Amino acid sequence: MEVKTDLLFPLEEFKKENGRAKPFLKWAGGKSQLLDDIQRRLPLDLQDTYTTRYVEPFIGGGAVFFYLVHSYDFKHILVMDINEDLVMAYKCIQERVEDLITHLLAMETEFKRLTNVVQHDYYYKIRDAFNQNKGGFDYIASGAHWVERTAQLLFLNKTCFNGLYRVNAKGGFNVPFGKYKNPTICPTENLRLVSKLLKKVEIRCGDFECCEPFVDASTFVYFDPPYRPLNKTANFNSYAASVFDDGSQLRLAALFRRLDAKDAKLMLSNSDPRNENPEDNFFDDAYNGFSIERVKANRMINCNATRRGEIKELIITNY
């Protein structure tokens, strides 16, 4: 693989406003804070010509994706997610970014002209429309309906409480209004940079196991699944109507082993159940035989501020 001159540029430079595409959504469980730890654990042969393909089956906000694609010249890139609206947003930015910017800027202008009380009502009007339009929505054929729904998604993400994406059992977005004073709803420059970057990326919607046929010995795969809840009150993996439970976690561990047998390079991050129960060896057992490292992270999502703080998360690799 051809190595770019800015290969592995310092993370502090990546995080600045420096003309490089950044995540366009705030996503619960995003990996911006773990990028230093992830960077230090990347396989060394990403720098040679052997690893030519990158696959990320749980794209989410894409912090790791954006960093890696700026650092390495992968010839083939596949990103996936089971969340239809998230995948649509990536595809819409890839294909129709100028239409999206026009629509989103109009929403931002209208929203910021309103009083705080009316902004509250405007938010719930958009949220209701977003949820009502989901039934029967065409996620296959690109068109103006994609632009409108993606604009609604980005608006909700920038104005909802804590910038969360959470849905109920019926798939309805249910995060309350966030009461931000002056949110940037349409980051025009970044959306154009993201669109340019996505031109060389294959984007698919589906279960994580669907990535298996695309993975071979020349592939690096990064898995960032919905985290296993640390306790009953910390259950935040509702990114889609389907539940990512322990059975799903074990199904992912089985895929990890199958891809390891293909000689692909693999990295996976998840919560560390030992934060709450030192006797809980769920992931140590599921990934027995692989490298399991515990790294420091900050608990960013909790309604109780006293429950936010430093915890350990897992980075699991097969190299």
pLDDT at residue 241 in the model: 62
DSSP code for 141: S
296 alpha carbon, distance to own chain's centre: 20
pTM for this predicted structure: 0.90
| pLDDT for 230 | 78
How many helices (H) and strands (E) would you count in the chain?
9, 7
Distance CA 290, CA 253 (A): 11
Q: Which amino acid is at 273?
A: P
The answer to whether residue 70 sits within a structural domain is: yes
Distance CA 269, CA 204 (A): 21
Residue 194 in any domain: the answer is no
286 and 302 in a single domain? The answer is yes
Of 124, 153, 187, the one marking the end of a domain is 187
Query: Which range of residues forms the domain containing residue 93?
Result: 86-187
Kindly provide the residue ranges of all beta strands, DSSP E only, lying in 86-223, ordered along the sequence.
Answer: 202-205, 219-223
Contact partners, residue 193, CB within 8 Å, separation at least 6: 19, 20, 21, 22
Cα within 13 Å of Cα(35), Cβ side: 20
Q: Answer whether residue 178 is part of any domain.
A: yes
Q: In what side-by-side order are the strands of the sheet with 291-298?
A: 202-205, 76-81, 53-56, 219-223, 265-271, 310-317, 291-298
The reported pLDDT for the residue numbered 226 is 94
67 and 103 together in one domain: no
What is the reported pLDDT for 3? 32
Instruction: Using DSSP bridges, classify how beta strands 310-317 and 291-298 pair: parallel, antiparallel or unpaired.
Output: antiparallel
What is the domain-level CATH number for residue 220? 3.40.50.150
Query: 158, 150 in Cβ contact below 8 A?
Result: no
**In this structure, are 98 and 174 located in the same domain?**
yes
CATH number of residue 183's parent domain: 1.10.1020.10
Distance CA 94, CA 116 (A): 33
Spell out, as residue ranges, where the chain has pLDDT lower than 70. Answer: 1-18, 231-242, 299-309
Rounded Cα gap, residues 265 and 248, in angstroms: 21
Confidence at residue 221, expressed as pLDDT on a 0 to 100 scale: 98
- Dist. CA 47–CA 72, nearest whole Å: 7
**90 plus 170 within the same structural domain:** yes
